Each structure stands twice: as structure tokens, then as C-alpha cells.
Amino acid sequence: MQIHVVQQGETIFQIANTYDISGQIIIDANELETPDQLVVGQALVIPITGQYYFVQPGDSLFSIGQTFGISYEELAQINAIPVNNILPIGLRLYIPPREKRAIQSNAYIEPIGESVSETLENAAAKAAPYLTFLAIFSYRVNRDGTLTPPPLNGLVETANANDTALMLVVTNLEEGAFSEELGHIILTVQAVQNTLLDQIVNIAQETGYRDVHFDFEFLPAEDREAYNEFLRKAKDRLSQAGLLMSTAVAPKTSAEQTGQWYEAHDYAAHGEIADFVVLMTYEWGYTFGPPMAVSPINEVRRVVEYALTEMPAEKIILGQNLYGYDWTLPFVEGGPGAQAVSPQQAIAIARDNNAQIQYDETAQAPFFTYTDAEGNEHEVWFEDARSIQAKFDLIKELNLRGIAYWKLGLAFPQNWLLLQDNFDITKLE
């Protein structure tokens, strides 16, 4: 796969000619609704085997080879140029595809209401071939330990048809929010735990779940060890039933990090007890916060590097958002929240408002500003092919277990093409 960033005045026809590919293939791959109206700064995925590199000032075969992990001799041979030639600026060099690593992938899906919407059904069907797990979010724990299930409709059949394992997500959500009080009950009342684990095993066996995933958030700090003990108890019970067990943890950068989202999540214990752990490495930019990247790579790296001091890389799954936010400026703390947007929606907003997409190299994330019809200034941060490739590169560099997406239902076609291009997705046996 090739990532191409649209420049001023470029057309699909010109871009297609650059890569010796048909324009329709580019249109289909990127699901372009208005291919004759590209946005300056928009990142397109070009579906070719390998990729092309255009020589920049100061480049040599040696430096380019180092960048792409190929010897300069092989690079010269593939492109039929003498090893000692000076490279002209703009020369197109072909880079062969690299060997792919095997990883596991997961995507959460959150059906709300009485049934699964058509949008979510379609999103699950599209993503399932690229997934090890489809995580059903969520089974909510009641105060007596029983579970309130979400609607499933055809999600089980979709997963089975694509050899995708189902993940049963258990949460302490109550009345639409994570409940500290409910969490404390679950972690301290043995009768509630016994009922809960009985329910989980029964549902998992009846429905065909392969993994049980605990996402308990905003727990009291003093319940940290109680949570660890609950996970040990759950792991023993679930292993006896032939089930995997995983957890989701807040994005910490030290064991001493304060704040209710963080303190009860013990990275070392989760890494020891669970089969794998999902780092919720997103929401730096969030609905009621100031405009910024949702998952800036510099901050994500800090979390992963800390996690690696507490648990092995083969247990770490990197969390990744499939959305961005549109903030109305000026940002006022306590004011109206930002609107969530998919990557495809963000590009449409930029196009409709004649905005140019920029790219923050530190955060490795695209953004733009615009003025709406009422004269309000906006700032939008979202994900694109470049930002997701940065996360894939981090997974490869640090040899992580895989990636987990929050959440299906927001269109991001480039992600799935790049995921397949970078990795072999393993399925459970």
C-alpha cells in the first residue's frame, strides 16, 4: 500500500498516473463520494503491491534502504540503476513489500437499544474478516451480580461466518455511566461475584464467546487489590470453562499516577493474571476537553513504554480510536462538548468548508480549522492513513500483541486496507 497526500491542484487522474493504477481503484479503496473534489492535505491509500518512494534532497540509496529495511544493493537492482549513481530529485523508486508480522486484532461494537442498527450490522460485516475478536460492548453488571445483555441480532452469525472469535465485555456501567458504587459492590461482595461468574460462564457457553473482557472503570482507589483478587478468582473460573480472560486498562505512564480512572488499575497484576490487556490509549482529545489529537503518538508511546516495564509485549494490545472530534471555538471549560466525527466525515467537513488539512508531526495526527455558516470557528482533529500507520509502526517496533479499535460504526476505509497490508491477522484455533 502507498499513502499519498493530496497536493494543491491534484486530480484523481493525475494521482492514478503517478502510480500506474486506475483512478477507479483509488476511488473504491478510499470510498470517495466526490472524487472530483479532493481536499488539499487529504491522505489517500493507493492499493499497489509494495510502494513507491520519490527521491528527496540529500537522499542516497543507502539512506533510503535504511528507511525501508532493504539493502542499497537490492534497491539498486530492483530499480535497474547503478549503485553509485547520484539520485535525481523526484526519481520514483519502487520499494518491495516487507514481510508481515502476525498480530491479533479486536474491535468493540456497541449496540444500543432493542436491536442492532443496520449501520452496525454492516460495519461488523465489513470489519470481521480483519478481526481476531469482535467485542460485544457491553454486558452490564446489576447489583445482584446478574447481567443485562446488549442486543445481538446477527452479530454472532457474522462473527462465525468470518472465523472471528466473540469477546464478552463486562462493565460496571449503570444508567449510562461507569459507577464507582457498583464497582465497589462487584469487587467486595462474594455472593455478587459468584452470581456474576456463574452468569458469565453460562452466557459464554450458550452464545459461543471465547474471551471474557473486564472493563471496570472509575473504581475507588482503595479497591485496587480487591480488583486484582477478583481477576485472579475470575481467571481460575474462566480457565476451567475453557475461556480466555482479558482486561481494559486506563492509559497510565507510571504506577503512581493519580486520578480515579487510573489508581485501581494495576498494570503488573493485570499483566500477570490476564491472557492479554488492552491499553485504552485514546481520549487525550475528548468531548469536553480542549482541541487536540485523540491519540497523539508521543503520548501513546509513553503509555506503552511504561506498560512494557510491568508486563510482556506479547500481552499488550494497543487501543486505537476510529473517530475524531469537531470543536467549536473558543474552547470554554464546562461549555458545549465537541462533536464526534468519523475520518470520512472529517474530510467531508473540510471539503464543504474549503479547508486545507494539516498534519502535526509531533502528534502524528491530521487537523484543520474552518468557519461555519454562522461565523463560528471550528478545530477538527481526526485519524487518517498516516496517523494509523504511525500506530502500526509502533506495534511493529515494540513487538506488541496487536490492536483494539474503539469502536465500529464510524467509516475509516483506509484503516482496514492498511491493517491487512501491514499484518497477518491471526484467528483463534
Residues carrying an active site annotation: 217
Residues, the chain: 429
Burial label for 123, CB within 10 Å (0-12, 13-18, 19+), is buried
Burial zone of 332 (CB within 10 Å; 0-12 exposed, 13-18 middle, 19+ buried): exposed
Distance, CA of 162 to CA of 373 (rounded, Å): 45
Contact 384, 307 (CB under 8 A): no
Residues paired with 359 in a beta bridge: 366
Residues 6+ apart with CB under 8 A from 84: none
* Measured CA angle at 130 (ends 97, 163), to 5 deg: 130
Q: Is 149 exposed, middle or buried (0-12, 13-18, 19+ CB in 10 A)?
A: middle
Q: What is the C-alpha to C-alpha distance for residues 428 and 243, in angstroms, rounded to an integer? A: 12
E-strand ranges in 241-354 read 244-249, 276-279, 316-321, 324-328, 339-341
